Amino acid sequence: MFTKALAATALLASLVAPLAASADGEVEQRIDNQQGRINQGVQNGALTYGEYHRLDNGLDRIQGQRARDLRRNDGHLTKGEYRQLNREQNRLSDRIYFDKHNRARQH
């Protein structure tokens, strides 16, 4: 009986670990994509100096929160932490779009 329970626990752990790793990988990929969008806005003049710094600081806050969450949980994100980071990234993504498409331009 104990062997079956141990085997079931090992199987469950082997199924959950890749999901946690993929969640972190998705967060990291979105951070990289958002940094690229911000840099592109600076290069083509779509973002002002102030917009750039506000967006960059927002991205830094998300990266810092991700790092704290990973340290707290032995390199994994909980479902709640992933959802929170995802919400923050969605807000930042909307802000990047708005700032790149408003009429403010770099001089």
- For residue 104, report the phi and psi dihedrals to the nearest 5 degrees: -70, 135
- pLDDT at site 19: 46
Half-sphere exposure of 79 (CA within 13 A, CB side): 1
Q: Which long-range contacts (CB under 8 A, 24 or more apart) does 27-33 make?
A: 27/66, 27/77, 27/82, 27/85, 27/86, 27/89, 28/66, 30/89, 30/93, 31/59, 31/62, 31/63, 31/66, 31/89
Instruction: Determine the pLDDT at residue 104.
Output: 75
pLDDT of residue 49: 93
Low-confidence ranges of the chain (pLDDT < 50): 16-17, 19-20
Question: Which pLDDT value is given to residue 21?
Answer: 52
The model carries a pTM of 0.75
